[in-house]
Amino acid sequence: MHIDAQIVKALREKTGAGMMDCKKALVEAGGDEEKAVNALREKGLAQAAKRAGKATNQGIIDSYIHLGGKIGVLVEVNCETDFVARNDEFREFVRNICLQVAATNPAYLNKEDVPEAILENERQIIKAQALNEGKPEKVIDKIVEGRIEKFYKENCLMEQAYVKDEDLTVSQLLTDLIAKIGENIVIRRYSRFELGEGLEAANSGGCSI
């Protein structure tokens, strides 16, 4: 099957995969770009799974200051080798994660980081809301779980839609980079600071001179 070079190039720009991988995926998908994207992502997931156990003792800490010094972010991303830590694409990824954290202010890194007490409280609130909306009792559990997934997407960095391409989650963006670079990469931690954050509560019981 003949695949136009421009279509292959467009798929490469969209996914970051190699030209030959893109062409092969398009041929196997019968020229369907969406199917080819999915196939490349599945391949990336498989490669990421293979790398998952590899130690990540290298990496960088990057920072970003936004809005005239009113928001600041620190992010640590780890990789396997110092060579990759100096790679431009790796560094661009870290910078983009800084931008993501600055823009979305995620409360947690992963789903697993959300305390069970927080989830249970959310479930109770969602259940009460659904009942107040007159939803049938038999569909309440599905509604609760659906809205909990939305909670994850809003509050967990890895589940969020990537701010530069909302068709991707941060997790998918990371998986694509692992597949492209060929090393395990881990977003280890981040901190976000906003000018004046918490000052009102801290000062409410104090005094001024």
The pLDDT tens digits of the residues spanning 25-37 come to 888 888 888 888 8
The arrangement of secondary structure in 115-153, i.e. its CATH architecture, is: Orthogonal Bundle (1.10)
Model confidence pLDDT, tens digit, residues 77-106: 999 999 999 999 999 999 999 999 999 999
The arrangement of secondary structure in 58-110+156-195, i.e. its CATH architecture, is: 2-Layer Sandwich (3.30)
Helix-helix angle 33-51:5-15, to 10 degrees = 40
Residues of the chain with CATH 1.10.286.20: 115-153
Model confidence pLDDT, tens digit, residues 142-190: 899 999 999 999 999 999 999 999 988 999 899 888 888 888 899 999 9
Cα separations in angstroms, 169 against 11, 33, 175, 176: 18, 19, 10, 11
* pLDDT at position 89: 94
Name the token pair of 39: 């196939």
Residues of the chain with CATH 3.30.479.20: 58-110+156-195
The number of residues in the chain equals 209
Cite the beta strand spans of the chain per DSSP E: 58-66, 71-79, 161-162, 165-169, 186-194
The arrangement of secondary structure in 5-51, i.e. its CATH architecture, is: Orthogonal Bundle (1.10)
Q: Which residues contact 70 (CB under 8 A, 6 or more apart)?
A: 194, 195
Residue among 199, 207, 183 nearest 47 (CA): 183
- What residues form DSSP beta bridges with 65? 72
Q: Which residues contact 24 (CB under 8 A, 6 or more apart)?
A: none
Residue 15: pLDDT band with limits 50, 70, 90: low
84 and 183 Cβ atoms separated by less than 8 Å? yes
The answer to pTM > 0.85 is: no
Residues of the chain with CATH 1.10.8.10: 5-51
